[in-house]
């Protein structure tokens, strides 16, 4: 039986994975809104708006859940991270606020082009900035550059995160989210029977997929110097190897399925790829929550709170997952994650 702190860490990781998949795709949608181009610019943006409109708020809440679990179950780690990463956290929050509000304002503001463009620009720029910062935060936590001595952060407020490794993790997150979104949008355009739009997004997905691979290589290379624990976790532990092989398989499958225009397979594989990458990160960093000062057990809340949290999470999930299922069923087809032909509206 795993310990309660491991279970809570697992739940937090699950929430982060779901955020990376669903929230990540919504951010990626914003990226493609920024890069909308060619003769079908307007159609591209319309497809993005349709795809994320009904669900982005629900997708966004995975982040809130992850944060709440972090501070309820691992309060000292939350506290140290909040102090050391004050600047990137603030910038990330600003990005999140602009992304969500600008997207909503665009939907409810005047349909006049200039207004729409301004909101659209704010929405899409925020969608680019927020994933980079999210990656920077994750990269810094993993790098081991945040030092906490007797509860006091001694590593300063800038140097740990304004460094090549965290920044490349940020770029990696951006590329990955954009890739996911492009694959999802390709599949949605294909299901809607819009052949040209499908090829627009397929092309974007292929470019983004290649970028994901390139940035991953650089990041991995940097990790040897900058995040020794991560690189050791990635390479030296025997039990992380199956995980990496699975990640590689998912990545290859996603890319080749995209190439062969088997979009349903590509979508499934890209989701698997994202989840496996996050699990690989978690496994490499285990048992550290904040490298090297806080482990899951050293940061853990008192056992009674942990137990009650797990009960609350279980009870909440009973409510949550069926309603999420209904949401996706209504907006993404008869089965969840399958695309509804929305062109019939």
Partner 1 sequence: MDHLTYARAQMGFSLAFHMLFAAVGVALPLFMVIADVLFRRTGDRDWLEFSKRMAKGTAILFAVGAVSGTALSFELGLLWPNFMGTFGDIIGLPFAMEGFAFFTEAIFLGIYLYGRGRIPGGLHLAAGVGVALSGAVSAFFVTLVNATMNLPRGFDMVNGHPTNIDPLAAMFSVPWKHETLHALLACYQATAFALAGIHAAVLLRHPKSSLFRKAFAVSLAVASVTALLQPISGDHSAHSIAESEPLKLAAAEAHFKTQTHAPLHIGGIPDVNAGEVHYGIEIPSGLSLLATHDPAAEVKGLNDFPREDWPPVAKTHYAFEVMVGAGSAMALLAVVAGFLAWRKKGLPDSRLFLWAVVASGPLGFIALEAGWLVTELGRQPWIMHGVMRTRDAVTPFPQLLPPFWTFTFLYLFLGVTVVYLLFRQLRAAPIEAAPPSVGGSDAHH
Q: State how far Cα 200 lies from the chain centre.
A: 23
* Contact criterion met (CB below 8 Å) for 342 and 50: yes
Quick check: 333 binds partner 1 (CB under 8 A)?
no
- Long-range contacts of residues 211-220, Cβ cutoff 8 Å, at least 24 apart: 211/175, 211/178, 211/179, 212/172, 212/175, 212/176, 212/179, 212/251, 213/251, 215/168, 215/171, 215/172, 215/175, 216/172, 218/168, 219/165, 219/168, 219/169, 219/171, 219/172
Site track 284-303 with partner 1 (rule: CB under 8 A), x = hit: -----------------xx-
Q: Return the range that interacts with partner 1 (CB under 8 A); candidates 27-35, 218-226, 256-264, 311-319.
A: 311-319
Quick check: 308 binds partner 1 (CB under 8 A)?
yes
* Contact criterion met (CB below 8 Å) for 261 and 43: no
β-bridge mates for residue 290, sequence order:
294
- Please state, in angstroms and rounded to a whole number, the distance separating the CA atoms of residues 135 and 168: 8
Shortest Å distance, C-beta 34 to partner 1: 19
Q: Which residue has the tokens 């499958």?
A: 253
Closer CB to partner 1, 58 or 264, in the complex:
58
Binding to partner 1 (CB under 8 A) within 126-155 occurs at 151-153
Quick check: 327 binds partner 1 (CB under 8 A)?
yes
Shortest Å distance, C-beta 145 to partner 1: 17
| Helix (H/G/I), strand (E/B), else coil: 298 | coil
Binding to partner 1 (CB under 8 A) within 15-74 occurs at 53-55, 57-58, 60-61, 63-65, 67-69, 71-74
Closer CB to partner 1, 179 or 328, in the complex:
328
Shortest Å distance, C-beta 305 to partner 1: 4
Return the number of other C-beta atoms located less than 10 Å from residue 232's C-beta: 14
Binding to partner 1 (CB under 8 A) within 69-128 occurs at 69, 71-76, 78-83, 86, 89-90, 92-94, 96-101, 103-105, 107-110
Q: State how far Cα 89 lies from the chain centre.
A: 15
Closer CB to partner 1, 199 or 305, in the complex:
305
Q: State how far Cα 157 lies from the chain centre.
A: 24
Shortest Å distance, C-beta 93 to partner 1: 5
* Contact criterion met (CB below 8 Å) for 66 and 10: no
Site track 166-185 with partner 1 (rule: CB under 8 A), x = hit: --------------------
Among 116, 155, 157, 194, binds partner 1 (CB under 8 A): 157
Query: How many positions of this chain bind partner 1 (CB under 8 A)?
Result: 66
**Contact partners, residue 337, CB within 8 Å, separation at least 6:** 267, 328
Query: Which stretches of the chain bind partner 1, using CB under 8 A?
Result: 53-55, 57-58, 60-61, 63-65, 67-69, 71-76, 78-83, 86, 89-90, 92-94, 96-101, 103-105, 107-110, 151-153, 157, 301-302, 304-306, 308-309, 312-313, 316, 319-320, 323-324, 326-327, 330-331
């Amino acid at each position: 039986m795993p310990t309660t702190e491991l279970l809570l860490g697992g739940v937090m990781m699950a929430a982060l994975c779901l955020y990376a998949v669903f929230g990540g795709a919504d951010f990626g949608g914003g990226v493609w809104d920024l890069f909308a181009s060619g003769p079908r610019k307007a159609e591209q943006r319309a497809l993005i708006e349709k795809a994320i409109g009904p669900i982005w708020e629900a997708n966004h809440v995975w982040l809130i859940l992850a944060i709440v679990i972090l501070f309820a179950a691992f309060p000292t780690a939350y506290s140290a991270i909040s102090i050391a990463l004050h600047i990137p956290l603030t910038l990330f929050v600003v990005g999140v606020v602009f992304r969500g509000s600008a997207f909503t304002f665009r939907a409810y503001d005047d349909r006049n082009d200039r207004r729409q463009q301004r909101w659209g620009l704010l929405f899409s720029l925020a969608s680019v900035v927020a994933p980079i910062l999210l990656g920077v935060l994750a990269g810094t936590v993993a790098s081991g550059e945040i030092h906490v001595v007797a509860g006091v952060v001694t590593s300063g407020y800038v140097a740990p995160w304004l460094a090549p490794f965290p920044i490349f993790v940020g770029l990696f997150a951006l590329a990955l989210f954009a890739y996911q979104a492009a694959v999802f949008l390709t599949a949605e355009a294909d299901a809607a029977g819009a052949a040209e739009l499908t090829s627009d997004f397929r092309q974007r997905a292929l470019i983004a997929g290649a970028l994901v691979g390139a940035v991953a290589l650089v990041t991995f290379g940097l990790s040897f110097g900058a995040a020794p624990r991560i690189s050791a976790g990635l390479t030296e532990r025997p039990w992380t190897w199956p995980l990496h092989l699975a990640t590689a398989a998912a990545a290859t499958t996603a890319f080749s399925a995209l190439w062969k225009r088997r979009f349903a397979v590509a979508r499934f594989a890209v989701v698997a790829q994202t989840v496996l990458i996050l699990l690989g990160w978690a496994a490499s960093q285990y048992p550290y929550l904040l490298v090297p000062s806080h482990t899951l057990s050293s940061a853990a809340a008192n056992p009674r709170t942990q137990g009650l949290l797990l009960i609350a999470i279980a009870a909440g999930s009973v409510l949550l997952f069926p309603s999420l299922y209904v949401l996706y069923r209504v907006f993404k087809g008869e089965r969840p994650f399958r695309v509804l032909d929305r062109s019939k509206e």
